[in-house]
């Protein structure tokens, strides 16, 4: 059984083995530490010239990555806690993303900014956030999230080949969990009807009919959504299908439309603080395409619009729990 952190570490090793012009920069990423979450373990030993532990300088790390990319190389930056990506916002938004287009011709900027993200580890307000929403809607910047249902080797290779900068969110609790295989997620089994690299679809192994509810979630929230799907079925015989994309933005809603149109309720779940979020962006796309065909308003289950407290019992009141997802869907169906 492979854990998500091991899968991502293996993906980075594969990327370095495949690409002699790939660099990685970040704070404390070198061996023997291998990064605060051990995701870069072994890389600096294998590629000492190209895997660099750096000073605490997020803005410059992304800037250096941008310079390497302009020179013809590719670069991955690890932001130790995704919260600190705010310090690199200028280099990401005003340089990396804009350079793709603002010089009048396409300029490739193959840079991945990796952001360990999310709460549930008690790190408090400045080390627990999910900042995906702040990177949504930037021209030529794509936003992604790792998932236990997607091999990160293919994900990283795709992002590096894309030629445009990407921000990759990695849920910190997910790191410790197993990659999906039959049995790891109860009755739920993943399939990939939307093609390679597309969203995973999780359904109970015995359910082939259209689901009552379609839940769209990023990888970090997926297992909370599955837990809710499990109790909704056990307690109310409500069937759920859970869709887990790795590409959050730009988000292609088209392949999902048949399933969404057939559902009693469509639900989006995310750890971002409510207000101007990924979920509301996807909901807008769904309304645009399915206005008049949806049975009821899209259910948006975001974190509360509040800072994330440190104490576990307080944090739970802010971040969406499986029980919150369960309740939101049940209430929508019985409103």
Partner 1 sequence: MKEGTAVSVAGFDAGIDVEDLSTLLMIRHFEQTVLDLFARGLLNGTTHTCLGQEYVPVALGPLLAPDDFVFSNHRGHGHYLARFDDPEGLLAEMTGREGAVCSGVGGSQHIFRGTYLSTGVQGESLPVAVGTALWFQRTGRPGVAVAYIGDGTWGEGAVYEALNLAALWRLPLLVVVENNGIAQTTPTARAMAGDIAGRAAAFGIAHVSVTGSDVAAIRARLAPVVERTRTGGGPAVVEFATHRLGPHSKGDDTRSAAEVAAEREHDWHDAYRRLDPDLFAKVEDEQRTRIAEAVDRVLARPASVWERG
Residues that bind partner 1 (CB under 8 A): 21, 23, 49-50, 54-55, 57, 59-73, 75, 90-91, 94-95, 99-107
Q: How far is the CB of 96 from partner 1 (least distance, A)?
A: 9
Q: Which residues contact 115 (CB under 8 A, 6 or more apart)?
A: 79, 81, 82, 85, 131, 167, 168, 169, 170
Judged by beta carbon, residue 53 or residue 231, the one nearer partner 1 is: 53
- Rounded to 5°, the CA angle 245-306-328 comes to 55
Cβ proximity of 305 and 272 under 8 Å: no
Q: How far is the CB of 102 from partner 1 (least distance, A)?
A: 5
For the chain, the C-alpha Rg in angstroms (whole number) is 20
3-state secondary structure at position 10 = helix
Cβ proximity of 127 and 80 under 8 Å: no
Q: Give the Cα separation of 126 and 286 in Å (integer).
A: 32
Q: How far is the CB of 165 from partner 1 (least distance, A)?
A: 13
3-state secondary structure at position 205 = coil
Judged by beta carbon, residue 100 or residue 113, the one nearer partner 1 is: 100
Q: How far is the CB of 311 from partner 1 (least distance, A)?
A: 33
Which residue from 91, 23, 35, 82 is spatially nearest to 62, judged by alpha carbons? 91
Cβ proximity of 78 and 24 under 8 Å: yes
Judged by beta carbon, residue 134 or residue 140, the one nearer partner 1 is: 140
Judged by beta carbon, residue 23 or residue 135, the one nearer partner 1 is: 23
Judged by beta carbon, residue 60 or residue 310, the one nearer partner 1 is: 60
Q: How far is the CB of 162 from partner 1 (least distance, A)?
A: 13
Judged by beta carbon, residue 30 or residue 319, the one nearer partner 1 is: 30
Q: How far is the CB of 9 from partner 1 (least distance, A)?
A: 23
């Amino acid at each position: 059984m492979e854990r998500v952190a091991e899968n991502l570490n293996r993906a980075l090793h594969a990327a370095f083995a495949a690409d002699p012009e790939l660099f990685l920069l970040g704070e404390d990423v070198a061996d023997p530490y291998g990064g605060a979450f051990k995701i870069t373990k072994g890389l600096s030993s294998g590629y000492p010239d190209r895997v660099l532990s750096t000073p605490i300088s997020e803005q410059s790390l992304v800037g250096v990555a941008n310079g390497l990319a302009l020179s013809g190389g590719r670069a991955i930056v690890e932001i130790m806690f995704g919260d600190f990506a705010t310090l690199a916002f200028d280099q990401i938004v005003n340089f990396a993303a804009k350079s793709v287009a603002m010089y009048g011709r396409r300029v490739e900027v193959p840079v991945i900014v990796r952001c360990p993200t999310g709460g549930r580890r008690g790190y408090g307000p400045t080390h627990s956030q999910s900042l995906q929403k702040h990177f949504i809607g930037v021209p030529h910047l794509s936003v992604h999230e790792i998932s236990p249902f997607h091999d990160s080797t293919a994900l990283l290779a795709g992002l590096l080949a894309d030629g445009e900068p990407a921000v990759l969110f990695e849920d910190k609790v997910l790191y410790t969990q197993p990659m999906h295989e039959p049995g790891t997620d109860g009755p739920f089994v993943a399939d990939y009807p939307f093609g390679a690299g597309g969203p995973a679809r999780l359904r109970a192994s015995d359910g082939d009919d259209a689901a009552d509810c379609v839940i769209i979630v990023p990888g970090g929230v997926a297992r909370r959504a599955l837990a809710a799907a499990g109790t909704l079925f056990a307690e109310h015989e409500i069937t759920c299908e859970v869709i887990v994309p790795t590409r959050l933005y730009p988000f292609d809603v088209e392949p999902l439309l048949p399933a969404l149109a057939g559902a009693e309720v469509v639900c989006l779940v995310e750890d971002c603080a409510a207000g101007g979020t990924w979920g509301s962006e996807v909901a807008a796309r769904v309304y645009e395409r399915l206005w008049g065909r949806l049975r009821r308003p899209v259910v948006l289950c975001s974190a509360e619009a509040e800072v994330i407290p440190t104490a576990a019992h307080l944090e739970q009141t802010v971040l969406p729990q499986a029980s919150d997802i369960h309740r939101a869907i049940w209430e929508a169906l019985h409103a």
